[in-house]
Structure 1
Amino acid sequence: MSTARTWAVALTGVDGHMVEVEADLSNQTPGFQIIGLPDKALGEAAQRVRNACVNAGLDFPRRRLTVNLSPANLPKAGSGFDLSVAVATLATGGALRRESVRSTVHIGELGLDGRLRPVPGVLPAVYAAARAGFTRVIVPHANATEARLVPGVEVRAAVSLAEVAVAHGADLEVDDTEPVVLPARVDAADDTVDLADVIGQDEAVDALITAAAGGHHMMLSGPPGAGKTMLARRLPGILPPLTETEALEVAAIRSLTGDAVTRLDALPPFEAPHHTASAAALVGGGSRAPRPGAIVRAHRGVLFLDETPEFQRAALDALRQPLESGRIEIVRAGFAASFPAQFQLVLAMNPCPCGNYGVRGAECACPPAAIRRYAGRLSGPLRDRVDIDLQVARVSASRATSGERSTMSTSEARERVARARAAAAERWRASPWRVNGEVPGERLRQGALRLPPAVRAPLDRALERGAVTLRAYDRVLRIPSIVL
């Protein structure tokens, strides 16, 4: 029998699909062909595998070699298949034990010298292998730490193809080879960001805690220097820490972007793209392989859009679907991918292009038409998805120079948010929702928690006059989160 099989993983978004890599030798004109919908990078694996085998001192078959990636109708992309192609090739020639390679998943890119190079997406790939029932995975040395974050899988880290061959029974002398490493990831110092630094914005701090307690999206409107960015950057610190499952989801997304993943971080992520970002930069995309955008990287955390009216209108409107569904679907001619996108949106904007409209003691030079156009860059449907709209004023000079600190620290706010979310979880224990921001409007309008008619009267009249939409009506009902 001249066929050998091993396994690899194809990623579509954050979802991994097991791919059986089978190699077959035939007595035809020598050649090397990879079939099964490979992309250009994977098609070039034939030359990388050939050179890596020769330079590692391994016998490369000198017959017609065909490598099939099954299922054949699933598109495969990237250089992460190199190692599995090389292992199947060597096993079909008898250099490796076929039984050993058949029960192992191989992930990694090959250099021409035979060294294994790191690839993005190792964490979701190993997680997919674990769900499929595989217990042994071989990855490049640089990806070993993130691969070992998945429990229940034996992860073997290899520096070179020669090490992998020895692990599968090859009689080969392995030289000391310097491993390929990933650049170190620099983490921001989170302990310097505390809510106690916010001075003179007690109403804004209360709104921030309410947003965190109920999972509400919010908008901060005010002149430059009022502290909008300062407030937004402190929201992740008062959110509940990520559970192990949530932290694994966030780490898997970071792995897809090529970041070095060395641990599971319990702090919710914070993404603040520049206002020149395109719609593709926000939602993600790519011509052959999908890459996560800013809203996917903000999954389980906060997406902050500073200078919101300066963003492209198409980019802002692209947020509407993920805000409703918690997922983003990327469809291209060659693939379709789905990414999780459950985030809290924080928008910040000035009152006018110059920023001085309505500011005491400041002069606004913007004509009324320019002010209306500036505010109109945010569409009505997007505004309807924002629960809290807060006006933020500048702090007076006397308070700014007094040296005082806020009475509410990040740790105290986090405890209040945790108690409020525990109360909301108890309130909605018989439903799939856990915070007020997730509850559909009809449940609030018709359920047992419906507000008394006297309390709803002003809101009902505004709805009848057309002053608010039904979505805005529901948004007001969601806001009274219990902040203990």
Structure 2
Amino acid sequence: MISRVISATPYGFSGQIIEVEGDMSKGLPSLQIVGMGNKAIDESRDRVRSAIKNSSLDFPKGKIIINLAPAELPKDGSHFDLPIALSILCISGALNQSDVSNAVFAGELALDGSLRPIRSAIITAEVAKNQKIKSIYVSAQNAEQAALVTGVDVFPVENLKSLFLHLKKEKIIKPIDRSSIKNISRNHKNTPTIDDIYGQEQAKRAIQIAVAGRHNILLSGPPGSGKTMLAKSLKNLLPALSEDEIVEVTKLHSLGEHTIINNPIIDRPFRSPHHTASRASIIGGGSKVQPGEISLAHRGVLFLDELLEYPRTVLESLRQPLEDHEITVSRANGKFNFPANFLLVATMNPCPCGFLGDPEKTCICSQNQILNYQKRLSGPLLDRIDLTVSVSRVPHEKLLNNKMSTKSQQETFLSEIHKAYSIQRDRYKCSYKYNNDIPSSNVDKITSISESAKTFLTNAARKLDLSTRSYFKVIKVSRTIADLEGSTSIEIPHIAESLQYRQINIG
């Protein structure tokens, strides 16, 4: 008799159903696994054998062949241990084929038969849902993550023996209760807020605009001016993830993290890769294609500190995801698309020594050094950044004499940003979410701009020689400024403020 047990494996940002077939014939007792499995799958033979025996179940004596279909798809990971064990129990007669039908199984077996967590349990659950399979069995540690996918019953399994008794209807395992997942509080991990920053009112305002409309921002200034603290304070202004976004973000992190993610990712990501990180780790790729930092920052923030220290190839690779909100990784075995809709927050020094334009410390760089340094940031990439702000150091006497306001600026910013979100939600319905999401072709149709503001913008664009992309970015940023102020139409002051952030003066 041939047994069939359904499992799944990640494939890019989605998953693929894998049918674990088992057959036993006469011959010397052996266990062979075919179907383009890697070393982890090959080693599962010994894990499965020990797990079955140590669960007080009989391992059949005969020549056993396990096939992972479709055979042409490369497979890796230890999550096939559980379906392989169940397939063997079916061909031995311990289980009936009907016991394992209409369900997906995934999990790594320990030698004592207990079930260990795996990567990408949420993708396994999503595959089951797409295939209209009603039940999924995973490790108890993976159950909360898998239960983010609605429409399937997620059964938390402690060990092989308890699952065997459940399938035989001798001891029932109850599906996980999703109500315990929904009300998890956010954790900001003591990141700074706007209230922690002295001075820097223009930079704070730019941060508020960036968050309200999801506009990419570049902070330029000398060391010690507070660029990094400003960038990190942005995290506390971000809205909570929606339920759909939690699923999306958790899927990506279950694929890309080096450690196994057991619980849902409920906070917006704030990724800050070091400038020595490889292109593959930031963009995505590798021999086994995985999402990079730009995809792990999806629905959150990608923070690039000291932007010009990153390799030119990495910086230029940002152009596609900044425009399309996704990244395509091409390999010999196919193309893999990963979402990459992030808010770019970058900081940089204006020159190699960092003190160009600083009133207190003299720059020691030559003109050629400054030009060569600033040339690392290409025009096309700079054109995709909506807001550029020059950040100066706050004088020491102002730090000592600073009087904290009794009213929280953080609370004011959050209130204004929330109102701007509500305005955008009502304006765009389900078409777009933020002002920065509007395609340039639809900007004129959707945004309301007064005639005087149009004339002002046209004259300014001609004088400043703005590119087409920059022209529309000015309108989008102006729309966000108008939303923050509760204005129904874009007026001249909104355009004027937006143009301040297009004055590319990184020195």
What TM-score, normalized to structure 2? 0.85
Task: For CA contacts below 8 A with separation 6 or more, give which structure has more relative contact order.
Answer: 1
CA offsets per residue over residues 66-119 of structure 1, 9 Å max, x none? 222233333322111111111111111111232111222111112233232211
How do residues 232-311 of structure 1 correspond to structure 2 at under 5 angstroms? 232-256=231-255, 257=257, 258-263=259-264, 265=266, 267-288=267-288, 290-311=289-310
> Shift of the alpha carbon at 1:398?
2.3
> Shift of the alpha carbon at 1:292?
2.2
For the Cα contact (< 8 Å) 1:444–1:450, is it kept in 2? no
1:339 is paired with a residue whose SS is: strand
2:477 — aligned with what?
Answer: 479
After TM superposition, the runs of 4+ consecutive aligned structure 1 residues lying more than 6 A away are: none
AA aligned to 1:457 is: T
Gaps of 5+ in 1: 173-186
AA aligned to 1:277 is: A
Q: Check if 1:425 corresponds to 2:418.
A: no
1:100 is paired with a residue whose SS is: helix
Q: Check if 1:317 corresponds to 2:312.
A: no
Most deviating of 409-418 and 387-396: 409-418
CA offsets per residue over residues 248-304 of structure 1, 9 Å max, x none? 222222323234343452x3211111111111111222213x222211111100100
Are the structure 2 counterparts of residues 117 and 130 from structure 1 closer, same or farther at C-alpha, using a change threshold of 3 Å? same
Are the structure 2 counterparts of residues 70 and 375 from structure 1 closer, same or farther at C-alpha, using a change threshold of 3 Å? same
Are the structure 2 counterparts of residues 154 and 424 from structure 1 closer, same or farther at C-alpha, using a change threshold of 3 Å? closer
> Shift of the alpha carbon at 1:338?
2.2
Q: CA separation in 2, counterparts of 1:259 and 1:31?
A: 32
1:461 — aligned with what?
Answer: 462
Are the structure 2 counterparts of residues 302 and 150 from structure 1 closer, same or farther at C-alpha, using a change threshold of 3 Å? same
2:339 — aligned with what?
Answer: 340
Are the structure 2 counterparts of residues 349 and 171 from structure 1 closer, same or farther at C-alpha, using a change threshold of 3 Å? same
Q: CA separation in 2, counterparts of 1:126 and 1:446?
A: 41
For the Cα contact (< 8 Å) 1:251–1:261, is it kept in 2? no
> Shift of the alpha carbon at 1:170?
9.4
CA offsets per residue over residues 295-351 of structure 1, 9 Å max, x none? 111110010000110011111111111111111222223454322111000110011
Are the structure 2 counterparts of residues 70 and 405 from structure 1 closer, same or farther at C-alpha, using a change threshold of 3 Å? farther
Q: CA separation in 2, counterparts of 1:335 and 1:30?
A: 39
How do residues 165-244 of structure 1 correspond to structure 2 at under 5 angstroms? 165-169=164-168, 189-190=188-189, 193-244=192-243
2:375 — aligned with what?
Answer: 376
What TM-score, normalized to structure 1? 0.89
2:113 — aligned with what?
Answer: 114
Q: CA separation in 1, counterparts of 2:307 and 2:150?
A: 41
Gaps of 5+ in 2: 172-185, 486-507
CA offsets per residue over residues 397-434 of structure 1, 9 Å max, x none? 122223533655333312211211222233334x7223
> Shift of the alpha carbon at 1:193?
2.7
AA aligned to 1:260 is: I
Instruction: Provide the aligned C-alpha RMSD in A.
Output: 2.4
For the Cα contact (< 8 Å) 2:34–2:67, is it kept in 1? yes
Residues paired across the two proteins, number: 463
Most deviating of 102-111 and 467-476: 467-476
How do residues 26-65 of structure 1 correspond to structure 2 at under 5 angstroms? 26-65=25-64
AA aligned to 1:421 is: Y
1:233 is paired with a residue whose SS is: helix
AA aligned to 1:166 is: L
2:426 is paired with a residue whose SS is: helix
AA aligned to 1:472 is: S
Are the structure 2 counterparts of residues 447 and 300 from structure 1 closer, same or farther at C-alpha, using a change threshold of 3 Å? closer
> Shift of the alpha carbon at 1:26?
2.5
1:136 — aligned with what?
Answer: 135
For the Cα contact (< 8 Å) 2:117–2:260, is it kept in 1? no
CA offsets per residue over residues 11-44 of structure 1, 9 Å max, x none? 1133122222221223355433323332332233
Q: CA separation in 2, counterparts of 1:34 and 1:462?
A: 70
Are the structure 2 counterparts of residues 158 and 426 from structure 1 closer, same or farther at C-alpha, using a change threshold of 3 Å? closer
For the Cα contact (< 8 Å) 1:238–1:411, is it kept in 2? no
Q: Check if 1:365 corresponds to 2:364.
A: yes
Q: CA separation in 1, counterparts of 2:239 and 2:330?
A: 33
Q: CA separation in 2, counterparts of 1:422 and 1:146?
A: 30
Are the structure 2 counterparts of residues 243 and 447 from structure 1 closer, same or farther at C-alpha, using a change threshold of 3 Å? closer
Q: CA separation in 1, counterparts of 2:338 and 2:125?
A: 18
2:91 — aligned with what?
Answer: 92
